[in-house]
Structures are given as C-alpha cells and as structure tokens.
Amino acid sequence: MDILALISVDKSRVPSLRFQIEVETISGQLVVTRVNASANHDIHPGDTITHVNGRPTVDQSAVSGLNGRITLTLVPAAIHGAPSVFYRVNADYSSDHDDSRICRWLSIDVKKGDVVQIMSEDDNWIQARKVNDLSRVGYIPASLSKEKVAMLCPFGRRVLVLLGAVGVGRRTLKSMLLRAAPQYFATVVPQTSRQARPGEQEGREYHFVTKEEMLEKIRDGGMVEWGELDGQLYGTSADAVRSVVRSGRMCVLDCAPQALAHLYNAEFMPFVVHVVPPQLEEFLQLENLRHNRRPVDQLSKVGGQKFSRSHLIV
C-alpha cells in the first residue's frame, strides 16, 4: 500500500497526540478514528498509523507514550480496516458552505444516496468518508437525514468453514486465502482465559479474558466453539465472527465439526468445505517437500480419520 503521508510532530511544542486524535486497533492496525481541530492537518480520520519513529506498531501506547519529536508513517485504511458503520445519506450536504462546522480543514461534500463510512460520531457531528472516494473525509452534521446500511459478503455465504482431520492442511488453506485476498477473507482472533505469555499481545494471538467471562458467554450462547486445555479455556466468540461479517468479508474458520451447530443459522450462513487427505502414497510425496516431515504412522492416522454425516449436516 502506498504511503499517504510521512509527518513529523514535535510533542514538546504542540498538544499531545492523545488530545489531537483518537485511535482504535482494528484488524491488527492502528486506525485514526477522530481528529480535533488542533491536530496536524496531514492526519485524517481513516488513516492507519503503520510506523512510529520508523518502528512498526499496532499498540496505542506507542503513540501516547512518546515525548519530543516523533515521526508517523500513515497509509489510508481499506474499507474493511476501519470501523464497520455505514450510512446512506438522504440529503445533500457541503461542508464548504456550512459556517458552523468545527474543523475548517476537513472538507467533504455528499449527495443524496451517497454511502459514507463512519469513523466516529457524537451528538452533533459525524466524522465520515465516502466509500467510493476514501480520500474525502470530513464532518457532517449528526442531524443530517440518513439511514444505516451494512456491507455484505459478495459471495452470498458469510462464513467459510474448513473441516478435516488434524494435519490435513486446513490452516494452510486458510492462510493462503487470507494472504491472497484480504479484501474478501478474514478470520477471528480467539479468546482464552490464560495469562498472556512473554511476547504475546492482546488482540494479536488471543483476546485475554477471565474464565468467568468465557463461562458466562458459553452459558449465554455467545461462543461458537470452545474447549479446555491445562485448566484454561480457549474458544471463538460469535461476536468475533459477526464483526468480520459486518466488515463485508467472508469469515474463514478451521474449527471442529461440533461448531456447526452454532454456525448453521440465517445470520452466518456457512459454506462448509470438508478437506479430505489424498491417498497415502501421494501424501508421502507431499510430505517429503516439508522441512519437518511427519512419520508414516502419523500420516496414516490423518488419512484414517473420518467424519460422520451427522457432523456435516446439522
């Protein structure tokens, strides 16, 4: 993605960035969701802060915790990389002709029927950008006539479920889809009740919650899959799947067959793919290409695992 701006801010001479902008971590990226009138004019809602002082960052503390002169690298956030709130406006509006607007240097014109993506909003103003021109960002009145709309996955189905024996390659297929077409496919970050290990970051490997919170979600039907290992709970929340779907992308899951009971509904509409291992001879040839080859008896177990029809049809 092309760099939108490379700016330098002297925090010793201007108000702290914490008071100039508001940021939110979305899909592992640090996205600017609100700017104030005192902010640097090169920073806009919908920008992604990829580097701070030349170092990659997704942590909000990397912005708020620095002093002196700092350098931010900004790129425009994709539609799916910003808040998933959209409105269709029902009236024309031009901020250039609105003397009451609170930020003169953020300008946007919308026409009746335009769809805008909402970065942030309060009782009086909305900071938004047009979905057909992400470079146009500005304030529109919260009182402007509008209706809420949502992005839908272009494939019709909203969740792609990859089923198969352990070691058959489901995660490899999922990774290939996410790398090849991130604008169409995304996955979820699971939850766990265990403590974060050194090097792990909230929202990257896991969402770290308490066991009581996870148990409550399980009781309330808020989890699509869960399990216990070494006394700690791991699982995938329905809200995480829902968030991907609302971003307009297909949610890719490599889960156990039991999760289908919680996914087969009108909201998620899963497309289920059963990944079957090849014949053992072909499996051995493919395994020879791996750096860490598995023994023959392990490959035989992979090929021998079967799913009953009741697992696949709920």
**Domain-located, residue 176:** yes
The answer on 95 and 175 residing in a single domain is: no
For residues 237 and 144, the answer to whether their CB atoms sit within 8 Å is no
Q: Stretch 32-57: mean pLDDT, rounded?
A: 79
Range of the domain at 257: 159-312
Q: In the chain, helix, strand, coil percent, each to 5?
A: 25, 35, 45
How many domains does the chain contain in total?
3
Domain end point (choices 37, 61, 81): 81
**Are 164 and 302 contained in the same domain?**
yes
Mean pLDDT of the chain, nearest integer: 80
Q: How confident is the model at residue 9 (pLDDT cuts 50, 70, 90)?
A: low
End position of a domain, from candidates 121, 149, 177: 149
Whether 69 and 11 have beta carbons less than 8 Å apart is answered as: yes
For residue 99, give the 3-state DSSP assignment.
Answer: coil
Model confidence at 23, in pLDDT bands (50, 70, 90)? Answer: confident
pLDDT tops 50 at residue 314: no
**pLDDT value at residue 44:** 81
Specify if 154 maps to a domain. Answer: no
Residue 207 has pLDDT above 50, yes or no: yes
Backbone φ and ψ of 17, nearest 5°: -55, -30
